[in-house]
Every structure is written in C-alpha cells, then in structure tokens.
Amino acid sequence: MIGSLAALLLFQLAGEIIVRLTGAPLPGPVLGMILLFVALVLRGRTPKVFADTSRGLLNYLALLFVPAGVGIISYLGRVADEWLAITITLVASTALAVIVTAFTLRALTTHRGD
C-alpha cells in the first residue's frame, strides 16, 4: 500500500512539475491524474495494489469534506452576502454535470450497441 501511495504522489508531483515548467492552465494534480490514467491504459489493467489502495482511500473520502465544511462556517457571513450567486452557480453546474453525463452515457451505450 505504501508503494502505491508513493506512486500516486509521484504522478501528482510529475503533474506539478510539468505545469510549473510549461505554464499550462491546468492544476498539477489534475495533470498527474491524467498521466496516471494514460499509464494505466497503456498497461492494460489496474494493478491489484492500486485497486486496494484506491478502495482504502474511498472508504475515508468523507473526511475530505471536513475542511470544506469548516471553510463554509468560517466565511458564513460572506456566504450569506453571496447566497444568490452561489445558488445559481450550484444549480447551473449540477444541471450541466447531469446533461454531460446523460450525453456521455448515451454515446457509450450507442457505441457499445445496447
């Protein structure tokens, strides 16, 4: 598990380095995730150790929402001042995510022949 966590962090580090060197308008961790995806696609399968580690991380995913909740509470006054913009943004981004997901699912099922 330590080795796979180290590999995940190395992919993140590689993404950060590439973004800093090239000035790409993309967060380093996102680029690292893309690099990891490409490496796994080229390999053809996910190693069992990565699957176990990802399952372990997903078990504690809820803990990652604690800092966001604390941030909202810390800036509650600002949230109250900007509630309309925040609500519109949340509704629009949720609708966009649902629409993109629906089109993606439709394209994938059509491509598959189901």
Q: Where are the domains of the chain?
A: 1-59, 65-114
Q: Is the pLDDT of residue 114 over 70?
A: no
Q: Which residues contact 86 (CB under 8 A, 6 or more apart)?
A: 79
pTM, entire model: 0.58
**Better-predicted residue by pLDDT, 24 or 99:** 99
pLDDT interval class at 113 (50, 70, 90): low
CA gyration radius, the chain: 19
pLDDT computed for residue 30 by the predictor: 92
Residue range 25-34: mean pLDDT, rounded? 92
Cβ atoms within 10 Å of 66's Cβ, excluding its own: 9
Long-range (24+ apart) CB contacts under 8 A made by 51-57 are 52/1, 52/4, 53/1, 53/4, 53/5, 53/8, 56/1
Lowest mean pLDDT among 50-59, 73-82, 101-110: 50-59
